[in-house]
Amino acid sequence: MQTIVDVEFLAGFFEKTVRTVQLWAKVEGMPKEDAGKYDIIKCAKWRIGKLEEKIAELEKGDVTLYKLQQEYQKLRNEEKALDLEVKKRNLLDRETVELVNSVFLKLIVRNIKALAPRLNKKINGNSKTLAVINDEIDELLKSISNTPINYFENEIEDISSVEEQENEITE
């Protein structure tokens, strides 16, 4: 059986253009016998190998795509769960928490500032003493306002862990 064919026959066999077959031989390494002559069996094996490589690449891509789809679905489910918690009022949205914190902090500041006259009265102080107390309160509030927020987060975690330990002891 004759296995050497010309470029036109090979192009028809692969259902590609003559130029594509020539580029496969020149750029991608398809076996070639002489100018315009090809061994159809070697070329068919080469093409099968290339297609198998492409299939393996696609399968690998499909695995990656599948994993990404799973991760996406997991994140969507977590987002839906959080939305449900917000709707059930088990969680508050960020704006509400910030508003409540702001009101709460203003209330704390007002009550701390109200301490000065009461302390002054209890110690039978005068206007000079009141000024010193007010200065100390202002320094305290300034110090608190300049403290990084993550400091308070760590303090809250520490308080929570102490409370949990206390609860374990009493149980």
Three-state DSSP class for residue 139? helix
Position 87 in a domain: no
Position 86 in a domain: no
Same domain flag for 50 and 100: no
Same domain flag for 40 and 98: no
Same domain flag for 100 and 147: yes
Position 83 in a domain: no
Return the pLDDT at 131. Answer: 86
| CA separation, residue 133 to residues 7, 108, 144 (Å) | 99, 17, 17
Same domain flag for 166 and 96: yes
Position 78 in a domain: no
Position 102 in a domain: yes
Return the pLDDT at 7. Answer: 92
Return the pLDDT at 154. Answer: 63
pLDDT along the chain (171 residues), means of 10: 84 92 92 88 90 81 73 79 72 76 83 82 84 86 74 62 63 56
Task: Give how many domains the chain has, as a whole number.
Answer: 2
Same domain flag for 102 and 159: yes
Return the pLDDT at 152. Answer: 58
Same domain flag for 109 and 159: yes
Rounded Cα–Cα distance for residues 139 and 112 (Å): 12
Encoded tokens for 18: 């003559």
Position 66 in a domain: no
Print the domain residue range for 51: 4-55
Position 103 in a domain: yes
Same domain flag for 104 and 40: no
Return the pLDDT at 171. Answer: 56
Position 132 in a domain: yes
Helix ranges (H only) for the chain are: 7-14, 18-23, 40-87, 94-122, 127-145, 149-170
Same domain flag for 100 and 44: no
